[in-house]
Amino acid sequence: MAVSSSSFLSTASLTNSKSNISFASSVSPSLRSVVFRSTTPATSHRRSMTVRSKIREIFMPALSSTMTEGKIVSWIKTEGEKLAKGESVVVVESDKADMDVETFYDGYLAAIVVGEGETAPVGAAIGLLAETEAEIEEAKSKAASKSSSSVAEAVVPSPPPVTSSPAPAIAQPAPVTAVSDGPRKTVATPYAKKLAKQHKVDIESVAGTGPFGRITASDVETAAGIAPSKSSIAPPPPPPPPVTAKATTTNLPPLLPDSSIVPFTAMQSAVSKNMIESLSVPTFRVGYPVNTDALDALYEKVKPKGVTMTALLAKAAGMALAQHPVVNASCKDGKSFSYNSSINIAVAVAINGGLITPVLQDADKLDLYLLSQKWKELVGKARSKQLQPHEYNSGTFTLSNLGMFGVDRFDAILPPGQGAIMAVGASKPTVVADKDGFFSVKNTMLVNVTADHRIVYGADLAAFLQTFAKIIENPDSLTL
Amino acid sequence: MQSAMALSFSQTSFTRPNHVLGSSGSVFSTPRSLRFCGLRREAFGFSTSNQLATRSNRIQFLSRKSFQVSASASSNGNGAPPKSFDYDLIIIGAGVGGHGAALHAVEKGLKTAIIEGDVVGGTCVNRGCVPSKALLAVSGRMRELQNEHHMKSFGLQVSAAGYDRQGVADHANNLATKIRNNLTNSMKAIGVDILTGFGSVLGPQKVKYGKDNIITAKDIIIATGSVPFVPKGIEVDGKTVITSDHALKLESVPEWIAIVGSGYIGLEFSDVYTALGSEVTFIEALDQLMPGFDPEISKLAQRVLINPRKIDYHTGVFASKITPARDGKPVLIELIDAKTKEPKDTLEVDAALIATGRAPFTNGLGLENVNVVTQRGFIPVDERMRVIDGKGTLVPNLYCIGDANGKLMLAHAASAQGISVVEQVSGRDHVLNHLSIPAACFTHPEISMVGLTEPQAKEKGEKEGFKVSVVKTSFKANTKALAENEGEGIAKMIYRPDNGEILGVHIFGLHAADLIHEASNAIALGTRIQDIKLAVHAHPTLSEVLDELFKAAKVESHATTRTVSEKVVV
């Protein structure tokens, strides 16, 4: 592609004939291309911008006599990067060829106004160059105010209050900005670094899950809140073509007048993506009534010690899963499934404008008090958006509880990558008949588990629920 | 079999001027020898050559039982028996260089024998150009199939592409076997005696091979080639720290591999590994990647071959120490600053490929018997490949071609040198013009070049007082390239506007390696631009990229035009 350097000022040598193009340029006087205009306050050619003279605009150059607009092929430099005179900054595609645009000035690429793949007319500002580092911010704000293309990052919603846990949609939340602790050197693979740069993720804040704890591309993708792209090609070829007939109908009804359109936040996009993805998993549901009299009694006893219902349910589920490992398994490629080495219970939590699933790791092993403590900590972190990736994406089983709203039963959607999700309804007094025909009133709660039928079958799930019910009905083991 | 020779050379490192053999991340402190016109007399860089002995694969052949002396009769072409010598010509080393020389010798009526201590075909066929082309053929297809955008622009739909590592490895191995057999048969068929065993020079016109077979010949050609160069501090275990010899077997595809050296060996392997799903980290001793290529080409190549791929790099650093993966630890690479030698960084990767160039394989050749002193392992020769001894005088009847002399470490250069030597010993003086030898790097897309780079040409022009012009064209302007959706690429020609001489041509783009020959032939034959621009190219073909260059060049009108051949009435 790019015919770098030289000669686009020497347009005379561009042969317009035929469809071909060639650049004849004498070597000696190297005509280096630069299109910079210093935007002094006096020259207010673009709107009423008052930019200090130290901030220069980078313009779309005229690369040939016939060029009226150009497309940005790629920015060689990224925002904030230092530039030295003569260095290539951006590659521009004209109607004829790709060329480098070089800088005449030392400085910093403060802002990219026209992004990669976008088009701008000749002479339009495509970026801003700041002379000193201090001016980058200033230039950026100018860029934000002027850019027609959206340079502005999606703004992360303000810290939301954590309430209960409604709908079972599981999201990889928005970027997490946390400080990694420990002096350990960060090891990230080349592609991970590239992705981090692209998605503006601070690589130091990403938790590495790759071999030797290194940060891999998928770690960065997770941290950036995008679902990992299809696994890079590996010896066993990935599964056959995806399900056909995706809803591609474009004949949507027109919007009603005065309706407002709200673009998805990063978190909503992630939820949406995960939900669509979940459609490719064949799921089924099994419900089970559980008597909670004993559990309620236990809860009253341990509540003063800081134990929450969430911890009780998570512990019970964890113990039941330990006896039914298949329910804790995951099927990722449709060809095999893996028994997960630990039982990590993700608990769905609604936060303002989204949904997140903090994970109680090793829920079967930790005792109730530790679990409760851990849960409080996780909720706190979720509120302040401090959750580390492994604290929200390492779940092997999900728990969603809408009981506190009086919901008696509901149906959860299985998050991709997990084998089962449990939807817990409210516990309420119910008339039950025992086997001898005697009626009594007992607190009963309906639980409904959605599972991946590729790996979990009806009998598995029934057996698991039976165990779960037994634990809830004889909850003493929970406190052990 | 000719195809075998044409199969390029990737493995034999080329020591083009300025193409530093040590485009490496390691111990080369020597600066690039920027000899500007052409070839440095000897390649440089290897402190000791005795270290090679340990790696030498010759040694094992001493223990081989059978020295089957191929007794193919000389009835079918191998020259008449000489008066006092066993042979007219003995070639030590049956690589591509020796093979080319042998075929030409028989054609010239010389009774010829070729000695091989390993397998016929040498580096190129067994551990170099040939198997690497097989891997690159696979990587090229993988890359294409994985490129959804590319496929979509054709209107093609392809479900996810995958590969079977063993299948890929087998393809490379099968190709090497096939070419090796072709090579062997081509020599047997015309009656070249293939002698098995380690060959060495006993004295003037006398050669020993195997344990104690002594034969004599009027002339001797040394064509023993080279082996991968491993700088000190690097421990090669063949599993996680490997050289090109191991990598070509493709015994594993690591998730993350560091490639030490970004010359064309490293570059080609980066193409293979990234296409198969690995991530790559380059370690380059010089300040920029791809040293040795024309700067403009390497800049563009970096934008296409490095930046968009899963590759990062460290430049200006040596890998001072590389420890293979063991005890549950990854491969550890210690980097030091190339200039200050200060420790710079430590890398943890799954594997490391050492592609720091190649070292001549000249140990144990008995050179002391003819008073020849190697220079960093290379055998000194003059422009006619005649071996020069320690006192600077020519050793009669002894020649050295190919990687062992270090002039231009390319398979086809070795072959050309061999043919040149045979021309001389059969009575016709011949000096090979190394500037007309093309070189190519088989990445996707390919890079090829012949002659001088732009900076070299400018320097030469300044020194000798002529003007240098450059003309460029883009593959984007070529119909065939666009039909293939492969408009990425550039061709540039460096020439003298005063007389129309082509000084160099550099191509980066689809099938660049095949396209270069029009330019290299023009340089070899002295064809001027004003003449070749009148030649016709089929439309639409990629060759029009060069046509475009020739036509766009501005040669001053006083330059003489060669009279085009007599008119033929059709």
Each domain of chain A, given as residue ranges in start order, spans 54-145, 279-476
Question: Can you name the residues that pair with A125 across neighbouring β-strands?
Answer: A59
Tell me if chain A has a CB within 8 Å of the CB of B454.
yes
As a whole number, mean pLDDT of residues B286-312 equals: 90
- The chain B residue lying nearest A87, using CA atoms, is B299
Interhelix angle B129-146/B264-275, nearest 10 degrees: 40
Burial class (CB in 10 A: 0-12, 13-18, 19+), A89: buried
Token pair, residue A303, equals 């509540």
CA distances from B393 to A201, B196, B372, B390, B398 (A): 66, 31, 10, 7, 12
Contact call for A190 and B553, based on CB within 8 A: no
pLDDT band of residue B112 (cuts 50, 70, 90) is very high
CA distances from B410 to A109, B177, B416 (A): 43, 20, 10
Return the higher-pLDDT residue of A334 and B562: A334
Tell me if chain A has a CB within 8 Å of the CB of B498.
no
Tell me if chain B has a CB within 8 Å of the CB of A38.
no
* Beta pairing, strands A283-291 & B206-209: unpaired
As a whole number, mean pLDDT of residues B559-564 equals: 65
Q: What is the pLDDT of residue B359?
A: 94
CATH fold, domain A279-476, is: Chloramphenicol Acetyltransferase (3.30.559)
- Check residue A369 and give left, alpha or beta (phi > 0: left; psi -120 to 50: alpha): alpha
Lowest mean pLDDT among A112-121, A333-342, B6-15, B105-114: B6-15
DSSP code at position B541: -
Q: Give the alpha-carbon dihedral of B361, B362, B363, B369, to 10 degrees.
A: 170
- What gap in Å lies between CA B174 and CA A325, rounded to an integer? 47
Neighbours of A105 (CB within 10 A): 16
Neighbours of A300 (CB within 10 A): 9
Q: What is the pLDDT of residue A99?
A: 75
CATH fold, domain A54-145, is: OB fold (Dihydrolipoamide Acetyltransferase, E2P) (2.40.50)
- What gap in Å lies between CA A11 and CA A31, rounded to an integer? 11
DSSP state letters, A333-392: SSS--B--SS--EEE-EEETTEEE--EETTTTTS-HHHHHHHHHHHHHHHHTT---HHHH
Q: What is the pLDDT of residue B79?
A: 56
The shortest CB-CB distance from B296 to any of A4, A20, A98 is to: A4
Q: Which residues contact B210 (CB under 8 A, 6 or more apart)?
A: B62, B67, B195, B196, B197, B198
CA distances from B112 to A370, A476, B89, B237 (A): 86, 94, 5, 39
Contact call for B454 and A240, based on CB within 8 A: no
Q: What is the pLDDT of residue A85?
A: 80
The shortest CB-CB distance from A240 to any of B159, B163, B304 is to: B159
Task: For residue A138, give the amino acid letter.
Answer: E
Residues 519-548 of B with CB under 8 A from A: 548
Tell me if chain B has a CB within 8 Å of the CB of A84.
no
Lowest mean pLDDT among A1-15, A117-131, B216-230, B465-479: A1-15
As a whole number, mean pLDDT of residues B33-59 equals: 41
Nearest by Cα to B374 from B393, B359, B357, B389? B389
Q: What is the pLDDT of residue A333?
A: 78
Contact call for A20 and B279, based on CB within 8 A: no
Nearest by Cα to B349 from B287, B276, B278, B411? B278
- Check residue B176 and give left, alpha or beta (phi > 0: left; psi -120 to 50: alpha): alpha
pLDDT at B83 over 80: no
- The chain A residue lying nearest B314, using CA atoms, is A190
| CB-CB neighbors (< 8 A) of A189 in chain B | 255-256, 279, 310
| CB-CB neighbors (< 8 A) of A5 in chain B | 296
pLDDT at B265 over 80: yes
Reported as type and span, the H/E element at residue B501 is: none
Task: For residue B138, give the amino acid letter.
Answer: V
Q: Which residues contact A147 (CB under 8 A, 6 or more apart)?
A: A111, A113, A114
- Check residue B313 and give left, alpha or beta (phi > 0: left; psi -120 to 50: alpha): beta
Reported as type and span, the H/E element at residue B61 is: helix B59-62
Q: What is the pLDDT of residue B166?
A: 93
Task: For residue A343, give the amino acid letter.
Answer: I
Contact call for B473 and A23, based on CB within 8 A: yes
Contact call for B477 and A24, based on CB within 8 A: no
Q: What is the pLDDT of residue B558?
A: 78
Reported as type and span, the H/E element at residue B293 is: none
Q: Are B339 and B316 in contact (CB under 8 A)?
A: yes
State yes or no: cis peptide before B540, omega within 30 of 0.
Answer: yes
Contact call for B163 and A24, based on CB within 8 A: no
Nearest by Cα to A469 from A297, A342, A290? A290
Q: Are B20 and B275 in contact (CB under 8 A)?
A: no
End-to-end CA distance of chain B: 36
Contact call for A25 and B473, based on CB within 8 A: no
CB pairs under 8 A between A and B: 131
Task: For residue A349, give the amino acid letter.
Answer: V
pLDDT at B314 over 70: yes
pLDDT at B48 over 60: no
- What gap in Å lies between CA B162 and CA B245, rounded to an integer? 25
- What gap in Å lies between CA B546 and CA A424, rounded to an integer? 73
Tell me if chain A has a CB within 8 Å of the CB of B170.
no
- What gap in Å lies between CA A73 and CA B477, rounded to an integer? 17
Q: Specify the 3-state DSSP secondary structure of B130.
A: helix
- What gap in Å lies between CA A261 and CA B162, rounded to an integer? 42
DSSP code at position B381: B
Contact call for B163 and A235, based on CB within 8 A: yes
Contact call for A24 and B552, based on CB within 8 A: yes
* Beta pairing, strands A119-121 & B317-323: unpaired
Q: How close A262 gets to chain B, by Cα (Å)?
A: 30
pLDDT band of residue B59 (cuts 50, 70, 90) is very low
- What gap in Å lies between CA B183 and CA B116, rounded to an integer? 13
Q: What is the pLDDT of residue B34?
A: 36
Question: Can you name the residues that pair with B279 across neighbouring β-strands?
Answer: B256
Residues in chain A, total: 480
Catalogue the active-site residues of B.
539
Question: Can you name the residues that pair with B213 across neighbouring β-strands?
Answer: B209
Contact call for B163 and A237, based on CB within 8 A: yes
Contact call for B142 and A233, based on CB within 8 A: yes
Nearest by Cα to A64 from A27, A29, A33, A86? A33
Q: How close B247 gets to chain A, by Cα (Å)?
A: 17
pLDDT at B259 over 90: yes
Q: How close B17 gets to chain A, by Cα (Å)?
A: 21
Mutate: best of B138, B146, B157, B255, partner A, most A CBs <10 A: B255
Burial class (CB in 10 A: 0-12, 13-18, 19+), A328: buried
- The chain A residue lying nearest B309, using CA atoms, is A191
pLDDT at B159 over 90: no
Lowest mean pLDDT among A56-70, A396-410, B100-114, B209-223: A56-70
- What gap in Å lies between CA A99 and CA A90, rounded to an integer? 8
Tens digits of pLDDT across chain A (480 residues):
444 443 333 333 333 333 333 343 333 333 344 445 544 444 444 444 444 457 788 888 877 666 777 778 888 888 888 888 878 888 887 655 667 777 777 888 888 888 887 778 877 888 888 888 777 777 777 766 654 444 333 333 343 444 444 444 444 444 333 344 444 578 899 999 888 888 888 888 888 888 888 999 888 888 887 765 544 444 444 444 444 444 444 556 667 777 777 777 777 777 888 888 889 899 999 999 999 999 999 999 888 888 888 889 999 999 999 999 999 999 887 788 889 889 999 998 887 767 788 999 998 888 888 889 899 888 888 877 777 778 888 899 999 998 888 899 999 999 888 999 999 999 889 998 888 889 999 999 999 999 999 999 999 999 999 999 999 999 888 887
Q: Which residues contact B558 (CB under 8 A, 6 or more apart)?
A: none
DSSP state letters, B159-193: PPP---HHHHHHHHHHHHHHHHHHHHHHHHHTT-E
pLDDT at B529 over 70: yes
Q: How close A480 gets to chain B, by Cα (Å)?
A: 37
| CB-CB neighbors (< 8 A) of A20 in chain B | 473, 477-478, 548
Tokens 């070899």 label which residue?
A: B524
Q: What is the pLDDT of residue B442?
A: 96
Q: Specify the 3-state DSSP secondary structure of A159.
A: coil
Most confident of A139-143, A272-276, B505-509, B565-569: B505-509
Neighbours of B31 (CB within 10 A): 9
ipTM of the complex: 0.74
DSSP code at position A232: P
Q: Which residues contact B213 (CB under 8 A, 6 or more apart)?
A: B67, B69, B195, B197
As a whole number, mean pLDDT of residues B458-475 equals: 95
pLDDT band of residue B330 (cuts 50, 70, 90) is very high
Q: What is the pLDDT of residue A45?
A: 46
Q: What is the pLDDT of residue A251?
A: 57
- The separation between CA A20 and the C-alpha centre of its own chain, rounded to angstroms, equals 45
Residues 240-259 of A with CB under 8 A from B: 240-241
- Check residue A419 and give left, alpha or beta (phi > 0: left; psi -120 to 50: alpha): alpha
